Amino acid sequence: MLKGTGNNVVKAAKAIKESLEEYGNAEPEYSLRDAEIRDGLWSTMDRMESFTKSYFSPFNCNIRAGDLKNIFGEMSPETIKVIGCVASGGPGGVDGWHDLFLEGQKRRALINAIIGNVLVEQIFQHVFFGGDENQQASVKRIQDENRRKDGFDRNTLYAEYIRAELQAKKATEVAGPTLVLPPCFDAHVKGVVAGIYAHLSPLVNKIISVSPFPAVQISRQIQKDLYMIVAAAGMLSLLMRADPHTVYYFVPSFKEDSFTRKHMECFNSNTMKVTNPHERKTWPDGTTDAEKSRASGDEALTQITIMDGVTAYRRGGWETGDSKPGKVNYVHPNGRDTGIRCRVLTHGWVFCRWGRPRKFKDGKPADNPKVHGAAWKGDGFIEFRNVPGVGEKQRLRDASPAAVVAEPSGTGTTPGSS
């Protein structure tokens, strides 16, 4: 339809809405916007998956057990924390964590999770991504001055301010009213890219070590591809924040939780189907009848939380087909005061495993190895930070005499404290 209007966005949008009305499917404007936001989020997920397939598949990143000492040792405390938040080694102890890096599909899911975690925390949950210091201060002032108001009212105030700051001075006939990028958008994108690249650098170093291409070329291409992912997410974040009508909530998913199809999308769904202990006909060599019987009680659990799902919240009852964000019309006269509506735009993106949920007693682990069967190895569930070698080189560097800086004498201030 866009081509049919000569790539005129304004005419295309109007034509789409009129075509729905013609077939008796008149929809409020927000329903079309929901589809755009959903497609934007899906596009971001597709970009992430394509990125990990390009660089971290077994062909380009064939990690072996002997490589893990260097990879783990080079990780920063921040990277270790992120991995510990988004992933679980399961009941497999140290081996369970090793498998996340050695097995291709698990490794890609883990890297997607690192990227997804950064995108949600630093971009999508940012109130005004790319705004300069004064703009950020203005948003903070709006928040402080209206802290006692309803959340929907504050969201409208944020959106009105952001939209005014980003509004192009002149609308075009083809694109209509357009938004321009905030002044610090490029700098913020580059900062996020640098952060993601730092998280991935221990793995990137492995790619570089076996690649026939120069290290600088590989590094630049990876950062270029990351820039495209982050910039697209940043623009999507601004569109969501500039919406005075909707609160977009990123619904958290948790590792080692039960998988629910209603709220989650499984990264490794085909593998889960093939290995379903309730239906599978073939088993790995050496699997005993007792283990097959025990596995019949296993359930699908989340092992890696890749990216939170998004739910759109709006105030009031159903809206009419001609309703717009700036002029909301409800089906019923008192529609504004009849509760809150929500619409799931995307599901939480997770990597799953078959197994049994963890057990706790008085806030402490109380797992029975027998319940987990053959999957239990060593000490069972352990934190990533406790895996031997994780962060070792970084700790040694921090503890070396060269890393110790003598404190200045006297009562002078430290740099930047004035």
Long-range contacts of 290-295 (CB under 8 A, 24+ apart): 291/373, 291/374, 294/371, 294/373, 295/354, 295/373
Q: Helix H segments across 93-132? A: 93-102, 104-119
How confident is the model at residue 57, as a pLDDT?
86
How confident is the model at residue 410, as a pLDDT?
43
- Record the tokens describing residue 401, joined without a space: 């005499």
Q: Which residues contact 66 (CB under 8 A, 6 or more apart)?
A: none
pTM: predicted TM-score of the whole model, two decimal places: 0.87
Q: Which residue has the higher pLDDT, 16 or 99?
A: 99
Cα separation, 225 vs 260, whole angstroms:
32
Cα separation, 280 vs 274, whole angstroms:
7
Domain-by-domain residue ranges, the chain? Answer: 25-245+351-403
Cα separation, 324 vs 206, whole angstroms:
52
**Secondary structure percentages of the chain, helix, strand, coil, to 5:** 50, 15, 35
Q: Which tens digits make up the pLDDT trace of 80-90?
A: 999 999 999 99
Q: Mean pLDDT lowest for which of 255-269, 314-328, 394-408?
A: 394-408
Q: Flag whether pLDDT at 202 surpasses 90.
A: yes
CB 168 within 8 A of CB 179: yes
* Short-list 48, 46, 37, 32, CA closest to 248: 37
Average pLDDT over residues 208-235: 94
Mean per-residue pLDDT over the chain, rounded: 87
CB 86 within 8 A of CB 114: yes
Average pLDDT over residues 177-189: 89
CB 88 within 8 A of CB 94: no
Q: Which residue has the higher pLDDT, 232 or 15?
A: 232
Q: Mean pLDDT lowest for which of 84-88, 375-379, 393-397?
A: 393-397
* N-term to C-term CA, the chain: 59
- Record the tokens describing residue 249, joined without a space: 């909530």
CB 287 within 8 A of CB 371: no
- Record the tokens describing residue 69, joined without a space: 């000492």
Q: Which tens digits make up the pLDDT trace of 51-75?
A: 999 999 888 788 999 999 999 999 9
Cα separation, 341 vs 314, whole angstroms:
5
How confident is the model at residue 417, as a pLDDT?
39
Could you give the percent of the chain with pLDDT greater than 70?
85
Cα separation, 54 vs 60, whole angstroms:
8
Q: Mean pLDDT lowest for which of 59-68, 103-112, 216-225, 312-321?
A: 312-321
